[in-house]
Amino acid sequence: MTNSKRRILVAGGGGFIGGHLAGHLLKQGHAVVVADMKPLRSWYQLHESAENLTVNLEGKDACFKAVNGCDTIYNLACNMGGMGFITNNKALCMRSVLINTHLLMAAKEHGVREYFYSSSACVYPDYRQEQTNVTALKESDAYPAMPESGYGWEKLFSERLCKHYEEDFGINIRVFRFHNVYGPHGTWDGGREKAPAAVCRKIIEAQAKGNSEIEIWGDGEQTRSFMYIDDCITGIEKLMRSSYSDPLNLGRNELVTINQLVDIVQAIAGVEVRRRYNLSAPQGVRGRNSDNTLIKQILGWEPEINLRTGLEKTYWWIKEQYERRQRGERTVE
């Protein structure tokens, strides 16, 4: 991707990562088209200087209309959420294959030469993630395939489709496998939130209600790594300026248990909570971490923001949103 000013489509730009990315691209002086199926009032960030489209990109005609006149496409559009959502909405998650398929078709039709696809660490096989002291996942570990049911299969299929569009039609495609992105201006309530936001909200609620107990899904010993949103945007920009076209991990390799995640949020909040473990709740794989060997080779960089620093910013943003909601003000949830 060159430094010249471009007309860029951010598909799914009403969501968490897409909202941050659209703002970043606008600051660089690009003309940005933001497309999302949610009504504007439900977008996590609404950038008035962008061309904002409320449209369902599962439809072919909608994709062709949104792509027309654009030089570059960032596809971050999909139905997804935390473990509870993707466990209980497998068919809905898989329907997102329509978005990537139709956007690629539109890219070919309109001569778009630069395309970014946001994949996920959920493409990695369950059989490589059965222990808490998991071996960090290398990009090659995706095969033999056995990804997360529903959401993971959609992402893996879409990766392959992107590769074949690159091979057959010459579109320059970049793919990142995101590992648990978190931060302000993201989902923090309602069932789609991921673990960092959920833990922050639960502790904030416990404080507000004078209740010192929170529920933890599973035994709290399952392990994950979490990447702050600023690192995610930095990584996307670096990848788009590279010539590397195979799927690449984008995640911080700071492995923690969910109990350790709670410890950090407790320290930020200045409280201590009791933990009630719900062993019947969705838990996902036992352990997952990002092997960053390849990204360091390709980009000379890896995500840098440590979990405590990112969680502190996230906690205080969610606390502000919670307090606004308690006052009856409209918030993004």
In the annotation, is 182 catalytic? no
Give the tens place of pLDDT for each residue, 250-271: 999 999 999 999 999 999 999 9
Phi, psi of 217 (to 5 degrees): -80, 125
Residue % of the chain over a pLDDT of 90: 91
Structural domains of the chain, ranges and CATH numbers in brackets: 7-182+227-250 (3.40.50.720), 195-224+255-290+306-326 (3.90.25.10)
* Four-residue CA torsion sign, 119, 121, 126, 128: positive
Candidates 115, 151, 165, 182; catalytic one:
151
pLDDT at 2: 52
Alpha carbons 151 and 68: distance in angstroms, whole number? 28
Q: What's the average model confidence in pLDDT over 135-163?
A: 97
pLDDT at 191: 86
pLDDT at residue 125 tops 60: yes
Whether the CB-CB separation of 199 and 261 falls below 8 Å is answered with yes
147 preceded by a cis bond (ω within 30 of 0): no
pLDDT at residue 333 tops 80: no
Alpha carbons 107 and 162: distance in angstroms, whole number? 11
Alpha carbons 101 and 246: distance in angstroms, whole number? 18
Structure tokens given for 140: 């090659």
Sequence-distant (6+) residues with CB within 8 A of 237 are 24
Mean pLDDT of the chain: 95
pTM of the prediction? 0.95
Sequence-distant (6+) residues with CB within 8 A of 291 are 135, 136, 137, 138, 139, 249, 253
pLDDT at residue 290 tops 60: yes
